[in-house]
Amino acid sequence: MKKSVFFLLCSGIVLFLSSCKTVFYQVYKTESTSHANKQDGRLFFEDAACKVSYNLWDEGGNVGFCLFNKTDENIYVDLGESFFILNGIAYDYYKNRVYSESNTSSIQRKGRSELYRISKGNNVSVSRNESRVICIPANTSKMIFEYKVSESLYHDCDMLLYPSRSKIKSINFTRENSPCVFSNRISYRIGESKDLTRMDNEFYVTQITNYPVSEMTYTRFPSFCGERSLRKQLYLREGEPNEFYIEYRKVAGGWKH
User: Can you give the pTM of this predicted structure?
Assistant: 0.81
CA neighbor of 28 nearest in space, from 194, 174, 179, 244: 244
pLDDT for the residue 111: 47
**Mean pLDDT value of segment 144-163:** 95
pLDDT digits (tens, 9 = 90+) for 57-90: 999 999 999 999 999 999 999 999 999 999 999 9
Q: Show Cβ contacts of residue 150 under 8 Å, excluding neighbours closer than 6 positions.
A: 28, 60, 61, 86, 180, 246
Whether 92 shows a pLDDT value over 60: the answer reads yes
Whether 14 shows a pLDDT value over 60: the answer reads no
Q: Which amino acid is at 16?
A: F
Task: Find out whether 210 and 160 touch, Cβ atoms under 8 Å.
Answer: yes
Best mean pLDDT range from 13-22, 27-36, 163-172: 163-172
Task: Find out whether 216 and 205 touch, Cβ atoms under 8 Å.
Answer: no
Beta strand residue intervals within 83-151, DSSP E: 83-86, 89-92, 98-103, 106-110, 115-119, 124-129, 133-136, 141-144
